[in-house]
Amino acid sequence: MKSASFFSPTTLVAIILFASFATVPFVAAVIDEPFWTSFFARILIYAVAASALNLALGYGGLVSFGHALFLGLGVYAVALPSHYGVANGFAHLGFALLACGLVALAVGVVSLRTSGMAFIMITLAFAQMGYFLFVSLKQYGGDDGLAIMSTSVFGPFDLGGTTKVYVAAWLVLAALTLWMAKLRASPFGMALRGSRQNPRRVNAMGLQTRQVQLVAFVLSGTVCGVAGLLLANLNAFASPSSMAWTVSGELIVMVVLGGMGTVFGPVVGALLYLGLEEILKAWTEHWMAVFGPLIVLFTLMGKRGIVGVIEAALDARGDKARAASTAAVSEGH
């Protein structure tokens, strides 16, 4: 039986990763390169959004191609109140949670009546509806977007600086990752994963698969809205492009790349996806021609992504160590 210790090798890898993220603002200040704080803040924010999608996609098997809708709603939950002079961060957060929760509930109720390709297309259709709705709102910038004049203020903490947004994103991501680990092992998490693997058996146990998936979808969309709130404060700008279908596709790639159903796979996926994108952009203007095959190559490494490969390697190493220990004990006798 594999150990489920809190200090398992994969947990230690996650701790090292988050500790490395924590040093970024200090290193950027020392080398006088504020760009890196902004860049890694974007990685952390997209990692929050990808982790939110992982709840629906990785745990529940719900291939949502419309999570950009919730990210964009979170962005406009800051932009629209700011347009009218409301800078209260708690109000922004309340608007984001309420809007994303209600919209996710409506989308989930409709889309969960289907499955497979139909589910994918319905979630995509809702996201495109949101995109074209905000494009049509010319009084709020339309396709040109809307500048955010007042960032979110949570009492003494103002998200008006890149470093402050970075700290907030790091804290949110750390708390979300810990929550996802607890949720995965909870009765609800096991029911959700069971509904993906064998929905008939879950229904036979007296649980309603559709209700479990709906709760997961609403939670996923709501958390994605928090990522949108952070993104709005980082960019100080809101645009309908944050709801584009390509953004949903990027989030799916991050989850698949890092490892669907793993706890911190989306974090690794966001880091790898955005990191590779930035490196290749600096290397060649034809970076997409290189980026695509690399993503395919990484995806083919294993069904559980990069984290799955790491876990398999660590498990194999542990098995060899245990086998060697057993052999040594046998020889001693």
Domain regions of the chain by residue span: 9-243
Report the alpha-carbon distance of residue 258 to residue 266 in Å, rounded. 5
Q: What is the pLDDT of residue 205?
A: 78
Tokens of 44: 């952390």
Report the alpha-carbon distance of residue 133 to residue 222 in Å, rounded. 20
Q: Which residues contact 308 (CB under 8 A, 6 or more apart)?
A: 259, 262, 265, 302
Q: Which residues contact 124 (CB under 8 A, 6 or more apart)?
A: 65, 66, 245, 248
Q: 0.75 exceeded by the pTM? A: yes
Query: Per-residue pLDDT averaged across 103-112, rounded?
Result: 96
Q: Read out DSSP for 152-182?
A: -EETTEE--SHHHHHHHHHHHHHHHHHHHHH
Q: What's the pLDDT tens digit per position in 134-155?
A: 999 999 999 999 999 889 999 8
User: Would the pLDDT of 247 be above 90?
Assistant: yes
User: Would the pLDDT of 32 be above 50?
Assistant: yes
Q: What is the pLDDT of residue 5?
A: 46
* Mean pLDDT computed over every residue of the chain: 88
Q: Are strands 153-154 and 157-158 parallel, antiparallel or unpaired?
A: antiparallel
Q: What's the pLDDT tens digit per position in 266-322?
A: 999 999 999 998 888 888 888 888 888 888 877 776 667 788 777 776 666 655 656
Tokens of 73: 């709603």
287 alpha carbon, distance to own chain's centre? 24
CB neighbours (10 Å) of residue 145?
Answer: 18
User: Would the pLDDT of 75 be above 80?
Assistant: yes
Percentages (nearest 5) of helix, strand, coil residues in the chain: 80, 5, 20
